[in-house]
Amino acid sequence: MERLREILKTSVRPTVLDVGTGQGFFIKTLLEYLSSYEFIIGIDTKEEVLAKAREIHKNDRIKFISMDGENIHFEDNSMDIVCISNTLHHLPNKKKVLMEMKRVLKTNGFFIVNEMFCDNQSQKQLSHVQLHHLQGELDTLLDICHNKTFTMQQLTDIVEDIDLKIERIFEYNTSEEQAGETKPDEEVQMLDECFAALEIKLEKIKGFPEYGKYEAILNELKKELYNVGFFTASELMIVCKK
């Protein structure tokens, strides 16, 4: 991720917009690599996650606002950096959101897309991909937009489709990096947390015709993945300029 520091070091006291911010996890990443900033705004449509973000980031220059990425309430060419992290697969109209981000970005500003991907992952990382796709299918039954994880090529195509100049593309959080850092008991803990979250989601579709099918899938994954192990999926960062 030092590559991100090299990219961002040219931005002096930038204005930053993080779309689909959730609890502000990507803002936390940006704070590690920005040498300075004027303000950072995170937007999301879910007030409950914004409330958690405000608890985590208690800073006068970081604000969280309830706003839809399809209709961003900022002027054209008003932001130095716009970013979106692990949100594209949740969007019913991703191109509209990306075009809104492009609209508010200043000329020569940085446009950052960060997203986990599903191809070229190790066996342990595919555990994460499988569980993520299962969560997406359960969310879909509950009328929540949650599409499958994109491939690296699909992500590149999505960005190229909005006519931005790609400056850098790199993947991080690789299997090799995690192999030296993640202990077996930590893998088990992460699987426990994933399965617990999926069980809560499964409970919400109790009474649906599909309940038995997904209960069986979840039970099979429990048998399989504790033997395979678990690493989080690698992520792709695409840095562009307008």
Query: What integer pLDDT is reported at residue 8 of this predicted model?
Result: 86
Residue 226, pLDDT above cutoff 80? yes
The per-residue pLDDT of the chain, averaged, comes to 96
Q: What is the mean pLDDT of residues 103-128?
A: 97
Pairing of strands 79-85, 105-116: parallel
Q: What is the set of domains in the chain, with CATH numbers? A: 1-116 (3.40.50.150)
pLDDT, one tens digit per residue, over 66-105 is 999 999 999 999 999 999 999 999 999 999 999 999 999 9
Residue 36, classified by CB atoms within 10 Å of its CB into exposed (0-12), middle (13-18) or buried (19+), is: exposed
Averaged pLDDT, 136-158? 97
- Describe the strand order of the beta sheet including 165-172 as a list of residue ranges: 62-66, 39-44, 15-19, 79-85, 105-116, 235-241, 165-172
All residues at 6 or more sequence positions from 213 whose CB lies less than 8 Å from its CB, including other chains = none
Average pLDDT over residues 183-204: 97
- d(Cα 13, Cα 64) in Å, to the nearest integer? 19
Residue 30's pLDDT band, with cuts at 50, 70 and 90, is very high
> With bands split at pLDDT 50, 70 and 90, how would you rate the model's confidence at 7?
confident
pLDDT value at 223 more than 80: yes
Q: Is 184's pLDDT higher than 90?
A: yes
pLDDT at position 202 over 90: yes
pLDDT of the residue at 178: 95
What is the spatial distance between Cα 93 and Cα 80, in angstroms, rounded to a whole number?
24
In the predicted model, is pLDDT for residue 3 greater than 90? no
What's the pLDDT at 180?
82
Whether the per-residue pLDDT at 9 is higher than 90: the answer is: no
Measured in degrees and rounded to the nearest 5, phi and psi for residue 51 equal -60, -40
Identify the H or E element spanning 25: helix 25-33
| pLDDT 10s digits, 47-68 | 999 999 999 999 999 999 999 9
Give the pLDDT confidence score for residue 11 in this predicted structure: 84
Q: 3-7, 68-72, 93-97, 124-128 — which is least confidently predicted?
A: 3-7
What type of residue is 49?
V
